[in-house]
Amino acid sequence: VLMNFYKNDPRCFQIVDRISLSKPQHLHLKGLAGSASQFILAAVFNHPISSQLNHLVILRDAEEAAYFHNTLENITNALDIFYFPSSFKNKKNYRLLNSSHVMLRTEALTKIAGGGNKKVVVTYPEALFEKVVLSKTLSANIISIKQAEELDVNGTLQRFVEHGFVRTDFVYEPGQFAVRGGILDIYSFGNEKPYRIELFGNEVDSIRIFDPETQLSERKLLQVNIIPNVETQFETGEKVSIMEFLPENTVVWCEDWDFIKEKIEQQEEDLDIFLEHVPASNANQQPIEESDAINIKEDLTKNDCVNAVVLEQEIRNRHTLEFGNKKFFADTDILYHTKQQPAFNRQFDILIKNLQGYEGDKYNIFIFADQAKQLERLHSIFTDLKAEIQLTPIPVSIHEGFIDEDLKLVCYTDHQVFQRYHKYKVKQAFSKNKALTLKTLRELQPGDYVSHIDHGVGVYSGLQKIEANGKMQEAVRIQYKDGDLLYVNISSLHKISKYSGKEGSIPKMNKLGSDVWAKLKEKTKKQVKDIATDLIKLYAQRKSLEGFAHSPDNYMQTELEASFIYEDTPDQAKATEDVKRDMEKLAPMDRLVCGDVGFGKTEIAIRA
């Protein structure tokens, strides 16, 4: 409903008519505040007249770009909206790349090069500064693998190496591949998660996406495209500015070109200083993590980046829409009258008075919140304060609220009302925690005691390649009593755990085929049942006692909970609900809340 106000706005028709012309049009959308610009872009993006146009949005910094991208993605639900970050890991070393950022850049470039549906790319000065690989070069270097096709395994592995992929035992970040018997794992730079390709001889039997943390398959695919690192695997001569890469029908949205240009010029100066004082040999000698070895750009030169003056001219040759306070390219103003959401400092009497005033002036009122629970809390506060306001709750997150005086709209956000920190979300290529099983396996040393769920306690003696069904596979080797050996396939790592017992004590090793371990498990189960029986009797006695019943939550409790910076995790919410339910009963409360340091126990206690 809200988007229809903007789609049917005459100014939206004016914008799409102008940017549909062949000659570059330069417009200034004057007077936009809060997240209003994202609603204007969403309306233009979805308008039938401009249905074939792509859009590049340039914000002043990475944080603004991330918030803009999140809001636009939330209000459109479009799939082809990309966050395009800088590939550098930090400003101190221009040769060290951020793996997640490289993945995001690669994903965007690949989708744009593939054509198809219209796209929106949201970026910032530091990302514009870097050149990108030519579209035709990128397309020519994609390795495509289809189900049921014959695969030249050795040739494919050689191509992976030529494209900069590194062979490892397990894959957990882009740029890695692993081979275990008839299983090929590959982490492409163009996908959020790695692929697992199962081979039957040389035929591709199945292709799946899998989680690098759990190593479990998620869904099947018929075809995958393996994309190399677009930042390190191509020569400087094969690279162009992002403006040259984007299709001709791309409209440029810009917040403040003077500021953006200044930041790009600053990047030019910083890069000159870096290249002058840190030659390639020195940069590579700096201490880096093992996982960063894939992401070093060794042959970096000034030609890998774009000059601000060149970028400016390339942007001037496109349609431009400026939505900041200052205009640079624009020769025509389109006026909007919007205001920022006021600060209420959690004073709900002022908020209610403000909303009642707009309601009296026939404004449509919308409240946005990332979580439906926040909207319920707000409704509860209004009910307790006997405030009857006609508003539309929307369980969608936008970054900044605003008031549109032309369309008579009030769009407020819950995090600004409650003064909560609003965090943006950027897709990450991998988790530094990696897979728990893999991490544990890497930490194990030969001679460490391990426990297998089916066979009991043994001694870990390393990884070993064994032949199974005519294929070489990697397995965990565990030694048991009397020299018995057990080989555990990598896919069954969840059955193994490092032995934990009394410090300094040596555990008794089990013998394979013996019933001692099975009897021990049965005995333990029986003891657990006995303890459970005793606990049931004890709790039955406690339930018969009478205590003090606290009153249910009121609006002050709701206001307190809504003001917390972060939304509860599902476990926190359940624990809080259980504690409150206990406190409202006549029976004495008997509950223990457990959690590690920093996991939110105090927040539950404060609510109680």
- For residue 206, how far is the Cα from the chain centroid? 27
Which segments of 511-591 are extended strands (E)?
A: none
On whether both 33 and 154 belong to a single domain, the answer is: no
Q: Are residues 401 and 468 in the same domain?
A: no
Q: What would the two tokens of residue 570 be?
A: 């599902």
What per-residue confidence (pLDDT) applies to 559?
76
Query: What percent of the chain clears pLDDT 90, i.e. is strictly above it?
Result: 35
Looking at the fold, whether 529 and 482 belong to one and the same domain comes out as no
Q: For 392-416, how does the pLDDT look when each residue is reduced to its tens digit (9 = 90+)?
A: 999 999 999 999 999 999 999 999 9
Q: Which residues pair with 458 in a beta bridge?
A: 450
Region 555-561: mean pLDDT is 78
Q: Which residues pair with 498 in a beta bridge?
A: 450
In a domain, 436, yes or no: no
The number of folded domains in the chain is 5
| The two structure tokens encoding residue 262 | 């200044």
What is the model's pLDDT at position 427? 77
What ranges in 58-183 are assigned the alpha helix state H? 62-76, 99-113, 125-128, 135-140, 153-162
Query: What pLDDT is attached to residue 385?
Result: 87
Q: Which range has the worst mean pLDDT, 75-79, 232-236, 267-271, 274-278?
A: 232-236
End-to-end CA distance of the chain: 39
Residue 66 confidence (pLDDT): 95
Q: Which residues pair with 320 in a beta bridge?
A: 26, 252
Find out whether 241 and 306 touch, Cβ atoms under 8 Å.
yes
Report angle CA 175, 180, 184 to the nearest 5 degrees.
Answer: 45
Q: Is the pLDDT of residue 142 over 90?
A: no
> For residue range 48-79, what is the model confidence (pLDDT) as tens digits?
998 889 999 999 999 999 999 999 999 998 88
Three-class DSSP category at 123: strand
What's the pLDDT tens digit per position in 462-512? Answer: 877 777 766 666 788 899 988 888 888 766 777 787 887 777 778 888 888
Residues 220 and 252 in one domain: no
Residue with tokens 């700096």: 286
Nearest-CA neighbor of 195 among 214, 167, 223, 236? 223
pLDDT of residue 263: 93
The verdict on 180 and 281 lying in the same domain is no
Instruction: Output the pLDDT for position 215.
Output: 67
Tell me if 424 is assigned to some domain.
Answer: no
The pLDDT tens digits for 406-463 are 999 999 999 999 888 888 888 775 544 434 456 566 677 888 888 888 888 899 888 7
Cα–Cα distance for residue pair 442/445, rounded to 1 Å: 8
Question: Domain check: are 323 and 375 in the same one?
Answer: no
| CATH number for the domain that contains residue 482 | 2.40.10.170
Whether the per-residue pLDDT at 589 is higher than 60: the answer is: yes
Report CA 98 to chain centroid distance, whole Å. 14
Are both 38 and 60 inside the same structural domain? Answer: yes
Structure tokens at 146: 């289809």
CA distances from 591 to 290, 300, 545 (A): 45, 60, 15
Identify the residue with better confidence: 583 or 491.
583
Query: Do both 350 and 311 map to the same domain?
Result: no
3-state secondary structure 468-504: ECCEEEEEEEEECHHHCEEEEEHHHHHHEEECCCCCC
Q: Quick one: pLDDT band at residue 20, thresholds 50, 70, 90?
A: very high
Across the range 570-598, mean pLDDT stands at: 83
- pLDDT at position 434 is 39
Report residue 95: phi and psi, to 5°: -95, -15
Same domain, 169 and 291: no
Q: Which domain holds residue 410?
A: 338-417
Q: Are residues 93 and 164 in the same domain?
A: no
Say what the pLDDT of residue 62 is. Answer: 93
| 100 and 44 in a common domain | yes
| 291 DSSP assignment | G
> What per-residue confidence (pLDDT) applies to 432?
43
- Reduced to 3 states, what is the DSSP secondary structure of residue 270? helix
Q: Which of 514, 531, 563 delimits the end of a domain?
A: 514
> Does 427 reside within a domain?
no
Q: Is residue 539 part of a domain?
A: yes
Under 8 Å between Cβ of 223 and 147: yes
DSSP calls for 352-396: HHHHHHHHHTT-EEEEE-SSHHHHHHHHHHHHHTT-----EEE--
Task: Tell me: do 259 and 186 sit in the same domain.
Answer: no
Residue 226: pLDDT over 50: yes
Q: Is residue 29 part of a domain?
A: yes
> Last residue of some domain: 417, 432, 467?
417
Q: What is the CATH number of the domain that holds 296?
A: 3.40.50.300
Choose one of 176, 193, 226: the last residue of a domain: 226
Q: Is residue 434 part of a domain?
A: no
Closest alpha carbon to 142 in 226, 28, 34: 226
Q: Scanning the structure block, which residue is given the tokens 């692929």?
A: 195
Tell me the CATH number at 211.
3.30.2060.10
